[in-house]
Chains A and B, each alone.
Chain A
C-alpha cells in the first residue's frame, strides 16, 4: 500500500536513518558530558564519542581524523573556509575564484569578502553546468589565494571536474575549497585522490541530523589553516570554538559510516529509479533535462516542462508528492532559479522546472505514482496554457511583444 505524501526532495534534506537516531539517543541523557571536560568520566565519555565519530567521518572521505573540524552545518563550513582563508592568507593575496552556480552560502560569503576589500571572480558555467577549466586557469592571478568550486550542484546535480580543478590549483599554488554538501555520502569522495584542501559538508543531507556538519582542513601538503570566525574556548584546534554538539556529532559519524557501507547498493538502486522516472517524464513532449546527464549525481533529475509554470505544476500534486521547483513563485523572491539561468536557460524554461531528489528510502511504487501524477498534471496544465496553444499553432513565442512587468 502506497503511503502518501511521497518525499522526493532529498537535496533539501534527507530523513534521518533510524540507525543514526539509535546511535545518538544515549548522548542526550545518560552520556551528556561536555567533550571538553577533561577531568571526569562524563567528559571522557563525550570525548571518546567525538573521537570515534571523527574517525568515521574521516574514513568516508579518506582524510586523517585530525583534519576534521565539526561545525553546525555546511553554511558555517562555507563561511569558515572562505572568510577564514581570506583572513589567514591576507599577506599572500586577496583574490578568490568561484562560480555563479555555487550555493548562496558561498556566493554571499564571497560578497562579504568583496566588502572587506577582497576581489572575487565569478566564473560562468557552460550550458551543461560544468565550469570551463581553461577559463578557471586564465582567471588565476598572482594575488589568487583560493578557488571555491562546489563538488556537485544542489539544483541540477552536476558534478564538477574536481580532480582537474585541484590540479590547476596545485600548479599555481592556490588553495582549493569545495562545498561537498550534495556529494559526500552519495558518491565516492576522497580528499587525497581529489586533491581537496578544504571541504564543507553537512549531516542532514546524508541521513544524519540537522544542525551538525564538518569541514575538512588539510594538514599536510600543504598544511592549511583558517582564521576562526567565532571567538571562544579554542575548540577544534582553535578553528571553531563552541561546546561540541556530541549527540549531533555521533549522528554525523554514524551517518558517514552507513553511507560508506551502503553507497554502492544505494547508488545502484536509486539511479535505476531516477532513470526510470526521467525516461518516463521525457516521453512528454517538450520536456528537457537541465544540466549534464553524464556528470551528475545518481539521485537527482531536474526537468523543464516547457509551457507550464513550475509552481502551478507542483500544485497539481504537492499534497502527495514533495519536489522542488526552479520557479520564482515558490520563494519570496520573484526571480527564477539563478542556477538554471546560469546554465543559459531562458526565464521561461527556468520557470518551468522541477527538481526530483530521490533518496535511500525512495521506493519503486513511489516512482510509478510520481510518473503518473506529474505526467497527468503537465498534460492538464498544457490544455490550460495559452503558450502551449500558440506553440501548437506554430507561433514563435519570441515574435510576440510581451508586456513585461
Chain B
C-alpha cells in the first residue's frame, strides 16, 4: 500500500514525540488501543492554568505509519487550542488531512479517542466530570 506524502512526512519527522509529567495536575494523559490489535497510542496534553490553552502536547505510538502520523498530527492540532476546542477534533478531519485509505481509518479513530481520553483525564484531575464519549468503533 502506498502512503500519502503527508503520512510519510509525519513518520519520518514526527512532531512532539515525548512524555509529559503525568503526575502534574495540568497534564492529561490518554492511553488507547491494545498491543494485540497492533496499535497503542499515548497522547498527553499540558494545559496553561492561566489561559486555559493547551500549551504542549506529546505522543508515543506503537503502530503502523498511519497510526504514528495520526497521533503526530493530533498533537500539532492540539497546541494552542482550549480544551473545549480540542474536543471538536474529528477523526474524519484527520483522515482527510492525511489521505488515509479506508483500511487505515481506525488509526484516525484511535487518535480521536486518545485526545478525548487525555481531556477526560485532565477534567477528572481538575474536579470536573468526565465526559461521556460515544464509542466510535470502526474496526
Contacts and interface: CB of A to CB of B under 8 A. Distances in A.
Interface string A367-405: 000000000000000011111110000000100101111
Interface stretch (A143-151, A259-267, A346-354): A346-354
Interface string A281-325: 000000000000000000000000001111110011000000000
Interface string B1-40: 1010000100100100101000000000001111111111
28 contacts: A308-B62, A309-B62, A312-B63, A315-B3, A315-B64, A316-B11, A327-B64, A328-B38, A329-B38, A329-B63, A334-B37, A346-B36, A347-B35, A347-B38, A348-B36, A383-B17, A384-B17, A385-B62, A386-B40, A386-B41, A386-B60, A386-B61, A389-B60, A402-B33, A403-B32, A403-B33, A404-B36, A405-B33
A138 interface: no
A251 interface: no
B34 A402 contact: yes
Interface of B: 1, 3, 8, 11, 14, 17, 19, 31-42, 60-65, 67-68, 103, 106, 110, 113, 137, 139
Interface of A: 307-312, 315-316, 327-330, 332, 334, 336, 346-348, 351, 383-389, 397, 400, 402-405
Contact of A386 (B31, B37, B38): B31
A307 B39 CA distance: 10
Nearest to B109: A405
Nearest to A336: B38
Nearest to A349: B35
Most buried by B among A307, A308, A310, A386: A386
Which 8 A/B pairs are nearest by Cβ-Cβ distance? A402-B34, A347-B36, A348-B35, A386-B42, A386-B60, A311-B64, A315-B65, A351-B38
Nearest to A398: B35
Contact of A384 (B14, B64, B103): B14
A402 B32 CA distance: 7
A386 B110 CA distance: 14
B106 A405 contact: yes
A385 B33 contact: no
A89 B98 CA distance: 56
Most buried by A among B3, B42, B113: B42
Given A386-B60, A389-B19, A403-B32, A347 B37 contact: yes
A385 B38 contact: no
A146 to B, nearest CB: 35
A334 B36 CA distance: 11
A384 B35 contact: no
A389 to B, nearest CB: 6
Contacts of B63: 309, 312, 329
Given A311-B64, A312-B63, A386-B61, A351 B106 contact: no
A195 B36 CA distance: 41
A328 B103 CA distance: 11
A48 to B, nearest CB: 46
A307 B38 contact: no
Given A315-B11, A384-B14, A384-B17, A405 B37 contact: yes
